A and B are shown apart, each in its own frame.
Chain A
């Protein structure tokens, strides 16, 4: 698992030194403070480590990382990722106590010269679940990336589109994974399946099959996990990055989805999520209390000063902009009520 991460001048993040990373981790903060930037930085690092020396891949770590950064952040040169006021960008991640470290400056375009990787080769896969579901546009993503080579769908989408096309694998799955798949089936009241003959995704409920276009966004989004557990793309060493798990989900479904993610984390999978949702943070806090487990988090408090706060939901709810807004709305209502004549 990822043990710690230290970033400097990475996009909007001036300094982040996150030491106490747990199995489930949450990133909160206002828009444009760096939540998705951080998720993507960890994702690109993990994918680089995973693709390095996999099969007959001849590319060096630096080449893979460069490619990953360009296609994940979709920027013409990776120098654009360096904070506009400071230089250079530095990334340092500890994974199972080994490290990946790289540095580059604003003028870097085609080569990362300063990179050190001590993380062993691994067969597990990390996955990034973007805010939008992808089953209904999977072929468009693939075509746009493989044939037209266009920016638009970044690597988080493209990698996921490739991952879900791996056929479902027969045979026994881990007990926790089977449990999760059953829970998922309950939440979505059916399952999403790929029909090889029709070359299309369908939502199957009982004996009925519905075109993917007519299927609710939330169902399609949650079902991605089922597909990835079914085709064994995910294993107990995988890391799941989730951007806005709340999007398209009713608060009740959010709660169930988070319980399921907790079960996955107990099996060994590490989870990082970025959220704006009161329900997500509150439910994670309740899970931490109920299970007496640490759920670490980072709160980007102020985009101007780049202030970052570390917290553990086991110790309580942190002061943060989501709760602050809930109090702000409450106070607005109190003032209306008090001033009503």
Chain B
């Protein structure tokens, strides 16, 4: 069975449900009361942690004096990725139990090509590089400790996500 996931006004997928963990809709995560990404999926030979946003601080009319907002935004996304990776590994280690795609529960973690993806809806292309650079700096410790390639942090807009096949036409 395949599924389309609608988040922040974008339709992601379709993804094979056996490879999907809808962390955003998980009761366990609700109980834990932690910030998390939208979903985790094994797709295109990669283990993807995907967060969707309908805006960013730059999307606002006045981008000046938004330092605090920008920092908060980067912090929030960083926390979501970190918590979701930790939770995913915890479930796989048996420290928690949750409903996860059967095949996703069995992929070889040592070999998994992990990708952290943030999709911002209708975000202008020229606004993406600073968000990407800021997040890469913030996520440095996480990607080093999880042995993730720095280029595997993908900050993209809905147009690029569509181009890459992440969003349905």
Contact = CB atoms under 8 A, between A and B. Distances in A.
B23 to A, nearest CB: 21
Interface string A266-302: 0000000000000000000010011000000000000
Interface stretch (A32-40, A93-101, A324-332): A324-332
A313 to B, nearest CB: 12
Interface residues of B, number: 20
Contact of A327 (B46, B126, B152, B154): B126
A323 B126 contact: yes
Contacts of A326: 126, 129
A337 B64 contact: no
A289 B63 CA distance: 9
Interface in B138-155: 149, 151-154
Interface string B60-73: 00111000000000
B100 interface: no
A337 B48 CA distance: 12
Given A334-B156, A334-B160, A340-B151, A289 B64 contact: yes
Contacts of B153: 337
Interface string A304-321: 000000000000010000
Contacts of A336: 151
Given A286-B64, A289-B64, A290-B64, A340 B152 contact: yes
B152 A337 contact: yes
Contacts of A329: 129
Nearest to A336: B151
A334 B151 CA distance: 7
Interface residues of A, number: 16
A165 B128 CA distance: 48
Given A317-B126, A326-B129, A334 B64 contact: no
A56 to B, nearest CB: 52
Contact of B149 (A286, A317, A330, A340): A340
A323 B125 CA distance: 10
Contacts of B132: 330, 333
Interface string B149-169: 101111010001000100000
Nearest to B160: A334
A104 to B, nearest CB: 42
B45 interface: yes
Contact of A337 (B45, B115, B129): B115
Task: Specify which of A327, A333, A338 lies most central, judged by the most chain B CB atoms within 10 Å of its CB.
Answer: A338
